[in-house]
């Protein structure tokens, strides 16, 4: 076996291993990322229609989260009403309010995450569109 054949076989084995690792672990290693970049199998920003569907999906989630916030407000309002003046009832009410506060915090966090993700996708769409337009303008300039 020549050195060239050995190197070719070794690279093939390494790439096969990296491909297996990518499938198995989701492509999280540095070597795998290099492999994905070199072979063109890495992340590609989706076309505008797909990106818009992603934004629409997150906007629907945002709407759902906002509706849930209204329900949490209603629940908190109901729990804040005094049902009984005994110590046990007051203890249950405080525990319920603590749970509702944790639920509100989780819901608010989900809302911030969703809004942030929408902003990131929209910004990426704009950058991608600008890059595409610049590439088209460059191509037109070269063709002249």
**In terms of pLDDT, which residue wins out, 20 or 56?**
56
pLDDT, averaged across the chain? 77
- Give the per-residue pLDDT at 66: 92
Task: Give me 29's structure tokens.
Answer: 């290693």
How far is residue 113's CA from residue 54's CA, in Å, rounded to a whole number?
A: 14
**In terms of pLDDT, which residue wins out, 54 or 42?**
54
- Give the per-residue pLDDT at 25: 45
- 8 A C-beta contact, residue 36 and residue 42: yes
Please name the residues in contact with 128: beta carbons below 8 A apart, sequence gap of 6 or more.
Answer: 45, 48, 51
Would you say residue 140 has pLDDT above 90?
no
Highest average pLDDT, of 48-52, 66-70, 131-135, comes from: 66-70
Would you say residue 112 has pLDDT above 90?
yes
**Hey, CA dihedral for 96, 101, 102, 106, is it positive or negative?**
positive
Provide mean pLDDT across the span 43-50: 70
pLDDT digits (tens, 9 = 90+) for 69-103: 999 999 899 888 877 889 998 898 899 899 999 99
Please name the residues in contact with 72: beta carbons below 8 A apart, sequence gap of 6 or more.
Answer: 100, 103, 104, 107
Provide mean pLDDT across the span 39-68: 80
By the 10 Å C-beta count (0-12 exposed, 13-18 middle, 19+ buried), 83 is classed as exposed
- Give the per-residue pLDDT at 34: 58
How far is residue 128's CA from residue 131's CA, in Å, rounded to a whole number?
A: 5
- Give the per-residue pLDDT at 133: 82
- CA 18 to chain centroid, in Å, comes to 24
How far is residue 127's CA from residue 52's CA, in Å, rounded to a whole number?
A: 14
């Amino acid at each position: 076996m020549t050195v060239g054949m050995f190197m070719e076989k070794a690279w093939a084995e390494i790439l096969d291993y990296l491909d297996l690792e990518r499938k198995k672990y989701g492509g999280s290693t540095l070597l795998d990322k290099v492999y994905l970049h070199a072979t063109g199998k890495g992340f590609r920003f989706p076309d505008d229609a797909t990106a818009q569907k992603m934004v629409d999906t997150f906007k629907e989630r945002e709407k759902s989260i906002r509706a849930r916030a209204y329900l949490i407000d209603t629940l908190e309002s109901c729990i804040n009403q005094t049902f009984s003046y005994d110590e046990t009832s007051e203890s249950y009410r405080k525990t319920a309010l603590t749970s509702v506060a944790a639920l509100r915090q989780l819901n608010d966090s989900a809302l911030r995450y969703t809004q942030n993700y929408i902003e990131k996708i929209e910004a990426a769409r704009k950058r991608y569109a600008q890059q595409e337009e610049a590439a088209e303008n460059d191509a037109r300039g070269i063709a002249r």
